[in-house]
Chain A
């Protein structure tokens, strides 16, 4: 019994320690972030790595999420004889929830893992120590541009995801299943407000900050072994996914 308690205590302590380290790390990254715009090339490279490289997977998944939404939404709505409302339903659910959340999960899987394993390997192969020896701050040179690249890329990816998904909904609903095109768009335009778009993009931005931070934190603090890099990558995906969903609830509660 005492052994169990002691174990719980130590794991709770470990969690708090990690959370504290993450918070401190976040503070440092934020503090160093304005300086990174003095060297925009590093940031642009990372926008390319995190954003442009994720484009294909984001667009493919967006198309299919939209098509499924079109099928399911049509099936549900035609029971009430209101399949014309498909556009509204799909647009609002995509803007408010599906778009930012699915994009963040894909982003964690595609870009987050790449960031974590890259930084972990740099740590394992002593590149980070080498930079310190050469009086180059690895935080400034390596961590901050990667973080900012992710933060810039995420809202853009979210917007692209939602746009492509809406195209998918339209494809299935209007082209395949025969929902009236005019009703589809006009009802959507009547019901969707600018605040809904802002909510989606805000969520995208917040998830971008969270996922990028977790990825660079886990990578930067990886154990310098092959196993440690693997573990850091796994932790990145798991922690990013859980954080995204928890943050999603909080953000929805605030903005609803």
Chain B
């Protein structure tokens, strides 16, 4: 009996450690935010982009660098020929001016993309179901490069390597 009790204790410890490890993996190293009960109400706002670049659902939505919500879904609208991004914003932040603009930024050189909202000046606030009017698309590196190349092609020294910047 004593023997089997010792086994029970060790097994219990092992199982507890295993479950603690699973809990650690789920809560500590994922971007999942656990909402406590029903207190985490939020509202949805959509925005239409010509190009979302590498934006993924789950990406943060931030104002002044503070995360206020997440990208809920990204879909392509066949009528508008645009990407429709649904943002879910925490209802604590319920006084975002309705003429605010949403831009897609990249966090760092290798970081993921996120949506930054800069406030407008309107007295009205964004409500559930509203659409953000002013948007700025993701910057596509190839477009920048081709713009640069085309602007170079018009200059007299086309074909020459770009001059080194003045020291």
- A contact set with B: CB distance below 8 Å: 41, 44-45, 47-48, 51-52, 55, 82, 85, 91, 95, 153, 155-157, 159-160, 162-163, 166, 185, 187-194, 196-197, 200-201
Contact = CB atoms under 8 A, between A and B. Distances in A.
A163 B7 contact: no
A193 B31 contact: yes
Contacts of B64: none
A76 to B, nearest CB: 14
B31 A160 contact: no
A81 B106 CA distance: 17
B118 interface: no
Please classify the interface of chain B as helix (H, G, I), strand (E, B), loop, or mixed, using the class held by over half of its residues.
helix
Contacts of B31: 189-193
Contacts of B11: 44-45, 47-48, 51-52
A48 B3 CA distance: 12
B29 to A, nearest CB: 5
Interface in B107-125: 109-112
Nearest to B18: A156
Interface stretch (B20-28, B92-100, B134-142, B143-151): B20-28
Given A156-B17, A162-B21, A189-B28, 18 more contacts: A44-B11, A45-B11, A47-B15, A48-B11, A51-B11, A51-B15, A51-B18, A52-B10, A82-B109, A82-B110, A156-B21, A160-B18, A166-B29, A189-B29, A190-B60, A192-B29, A193-B32, A197-B26
A234 B123 CA distance: 76
Given A192-B30, A197-B30, A163 B25 contact: yes
B163 to A, nearest CB: 27
Interface residues of B, number: 27
B29 A48 contact: no
A163 B24 contact: yes
A48 B9 CA distance: 9
A166 B112 CA distance: 22
